[in-house]
């Protein structure tokens, strides 16, 4: 990976605690080497990598924002909710996240079965090995399919076998977008809509999510066309949402941008933090007043 300098904030990254390729500490080291100073670790359905990331961040001068990304199932397409400032020590939250991770495991088992039926047998054991204990996801399956020689590249697995309209795709059992926003809010976090370009009928679903407590929208995202970012900034203004951004770095295939690959305003994290509320949190972490007078 290139050591070229990056932008200082990255609010969307994945480690091997979910479907990224790098351990949390290694991910933070790579980000720090590129000049990232504030990084959210936003693994799917887990906060289990956060402590390791914070420890490495303290060593290297990178502020780690604890986060998770909740993929949802509904008529609205791929609605993914990023939850910021959640507490890894919140046991009630961990129980819900564990349920989501268990569902992920069952879904991947079903996809492995379906792949075998249509002539692409990969072993569940190998998929689990690739995942190294992380929250299971299609990226692990994609890598197993690539290794087995069934697809020419990792990304082709999504294009031909396990993407949404592909033959081995199985829908997930989990949260609706509304439930994901509520889950984050009920545990004292700040929800932002990830890569809004993957939602269907965004302008219809967005006001509903705002009513549920949505506080941000990921306007700065690599695979958005330039004019889309302007549209999302307009929606952020209209609904009073914080414009967030991030690389969605996984360290696998072409998906995502390099760490710190996206520009966003320098006060983005202060604005997000100001959207925390006291109510509903079961957190053992004290509530921090947003820093005033800093720009």
Residues in touch with ligand AMP (CB under 6 A): 19, 44, 71, 137-139, 155, 158, 163, 250, 253, 255
**Is 43 a binder of Zn ion (CB under 5 A)?**
no
Nearest to ligand AMP of 37, 252 (CB atom): 252
Phi/psi for 11 (5° steps) reads -105, 25
Which position's Cβ is nearest ligand AMP? 137
Q: Three-state SS across 179-240?
A: HHHHHHHHCCCEEEECCHHHECCHHHHHHHHHHHCCCEEEEEECCCCHHHHHHHHHHHHHHC
Q: Select from 19, 52, 56, 248 the one that contacts Zn ion (CB under 5 A).
A: 248
Residues 67 and 44: their CA atoms lie apart, in Å, by: 9
Residues 128 and 111: their CA atoms lie apart, in Å, by: 13
Nearest to ligand AMP of 47, 210 (CB atom): 47
131-157 as b/e: b if 16+ CB within 10 A: beebbbbbbbbbbbbbeeebbeebbbb
Nearest to Zn ion of 77, 167 (CB atom): 77
- Helix 91-117 / helix 124-131 crossing angle, nearest 10 deg: 140
**Is 17 a binder of Fe ion (CB under 5 A)?**
no
Binding pattern for the stretch 70-99 against Fe ion, x by CB under 5 A and - elsewhere: ----------x-------------------
Q: How far is the CB of 176 from ligand AMP (least distance, A)?
A: 15
Nearest to ligand AMP of 247, 283 (CB atom): 247
**Is 37 a binder of Fe ion (CB under 5 A)?**
no
Query: Contacts with Zn ion: how many residues (CB under 5 A)?
Result: 2
8 binds, among Fe ion, ligand AMP, Zn ion, none (CB under 5 to 8 A by kind): none
Nearest to ligand AMP of 37, 250 (CB atom): 250
Residues 246 and 292: their CA atoms lie apart, in Å, by: 24
């Amino acid at each position: 990976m290139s050591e070229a300098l990056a932008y200082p904030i990255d609010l969307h990254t994945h480690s091997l605690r979910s479907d990224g390729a790098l351990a949390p500490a290694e991910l933070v080291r790579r980000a720090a080497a590129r000049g990232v100073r504030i990084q959210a670790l936003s693994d799917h359905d887990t906060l289990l990598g956060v402590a390791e990331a914070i420890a490495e961040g303290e060593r290297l001068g990178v502020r780690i924002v604890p986060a998770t990304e909740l993929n949802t199932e509904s008529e609205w397409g791929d609605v993914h909710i990023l939850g910021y400032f959640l507490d890894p020590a919140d046991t009630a939250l961990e129980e819900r996240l564990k349920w989501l991770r268990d569902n992920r495991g069952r879904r991947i088992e079903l996809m492995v079965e379906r792949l075998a039926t249509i002539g692409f047998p990969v072993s569940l054991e190998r998929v689990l090995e690739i995942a190294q204990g992380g929250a299971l996801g299609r990226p692990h399956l994609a890598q197993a399919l690539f290794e087995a020689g069934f697809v020419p590249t990792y990304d082709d697995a999504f294009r031909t076998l396990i993407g949404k309209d592909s033959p081995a795709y199985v829908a997930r059992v989990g949260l609706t977008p509304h439930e994901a926003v509520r889950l984050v809010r009920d545990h004292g976090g700040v929800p932002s809509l990830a890569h809004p370009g993957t939602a269907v009928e965004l302008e219809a679903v967005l006001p509903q999510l705002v009513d549920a407590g949505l506080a941000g929208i990921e306007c700065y995202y690599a695979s958005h066309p330039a004019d889309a970012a302007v549209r999302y900034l307009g929606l952020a203004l209209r609904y009073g949402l914080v414009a967030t951004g991030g690389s969605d770095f996984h360290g696998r295939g072409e998906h995502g941008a390099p760490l710190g690959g996206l520009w966003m305003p320098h006060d983005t994290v202060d604005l997000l933090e100001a959207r925390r509320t006291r109510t509903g949190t079961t957190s053992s972490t004290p509530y921090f007043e947003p820093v005033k007078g800093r720009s």
